Amino acid sequence: MDSSEVLDPASGGVLATVQAFGVAETDAAIERAQRAFLSWRQVAPGDRARLLRRFAAVVDEHVEELAGLEVSNAGHTIGNARWEAGNVRDVLDYYAAAPERLSGRQIPVPGGIDVTFHEPLGVVGIIVPWNFPMPIAGWGFAPALAAGNTVVLKPAELTPLTAIRLEELALEAGLPEGVFTVVPGKGSVVGQRFVAHPAVRKVCFTGSTEVGKSIMAGCADQVKRVTLELGGKSANIVFADADLERAAAAAPGGVFDNAGQDCCARSRLLVQESVYERFLALLEPAVKAFRVQDPSLDTAEMGPLISAAHRDKVASYTAAAEVAFTGEAPSGDGWWFPPTVLLARSSSDPHWREEVFGPVLSVMPFRDEAEAIELANDTEYGLSGSLWTRDLGRALRMARAVETGNLSVNSHSSVRYWTPFGGMKQSGLGRELGPDAPLSFTDVKNVFISTDS
């Protein structure tokens, strides 16, 4: 079994050495999960619920430890990392109610009765990205386990530490061996086995659109189910009648949170032309005040980028662009990049059209609702976005017209575990979270019972 070094993006130093599973080890993990499924699906709904609540309680006991791992491994600020560990706990608690509520239907038919059952699929493979390692893992494994499936989870090569710890905590909580297994390794090895192995009946992938397309194509060979949460290039649309001070103060957090390494980042700022100059004047001090610091500090609002290679990629978008203003970032060790605001002169500018996945905000004026809709929808992506206006009618018109899976009015909130989350167009397929998520990990079985004598 090979191994790889895990680095601290704030310093570049080595944190740990993690074993990387090969094909044989991955197949063995999948086969253990397949055997565990035979008994896990038979666990009484109330008992499965209790185990998930216990898992949530054990996570809660280790929130600070998990947060510390995420700060050092992913460069997340300590405030964000505490929220992320708490989100794993809360998602487990939320879906612990699902086993006892996976109700089928009784459908009126002649000559008998007809009922439906939600049957678990089997082994579910979950492929997690490096930008939000903990919450995205939980969004997959919690509803999958609640529905009676077993899970094999591949963390990103750059950020495996919290997933490995969560597997240990699951066993500590009493989940049987093989029910939840973390399989570190390369996507080309572990992820590919999730796609190709016939015992894996569904793959959940969060990552780039390019890789998502290849996973979907591979799963098609076995008619294997997929949920895909892919790229984004979300718009933040500010109308002249909005509370401009509030919108300008909120804009940096909407795009620079997690150093812009967020598919939901509002990286395209559309401002109505009558207030364009005023809004930029309000935005500049908010950007300059955004605190890019050692992520372990409670005051930090943004940490480093994930790697040197990614920092170079982000910098390539700003090299030839028109910079309006930037914030501050530490110098020296680590992969730091300042919050940067660019002026988009054309909708063909690469920084306007492509997912930069860094702390870069592109700004463009618009005339009216029609042009705002045209500019917002002129992208292959459709994951999230925001509208700022005091006009309720306009908010509803725009919300229906913008082609995106998640939209906030006078807010930058994208994710709540109580509500569905997912993308339109090339931002993905299917929905995570919300009350219906466990159903996506089941097959509906229809049973007709004749009452004829």
Catalytic residues: 229, 263
Of the candidates 324, 244, 258, the one whose C-alpha atom is nearest the C-alpha of residue 287 is: 324
Separation of alpha carbons 294 and 126, rounded Å: 31
Separation of alpha carbons 303 and 8, rounded Å: 11
Token pair of 287, please?
A: 């950007």
Of the candidates 169, 103, 34, the one whose C-alpha atom is nearest the C-alpha of residue 438 is: 103
Judged on CB neighbours under 10 Å (0-12, 13-18, 19+), 86 is middle
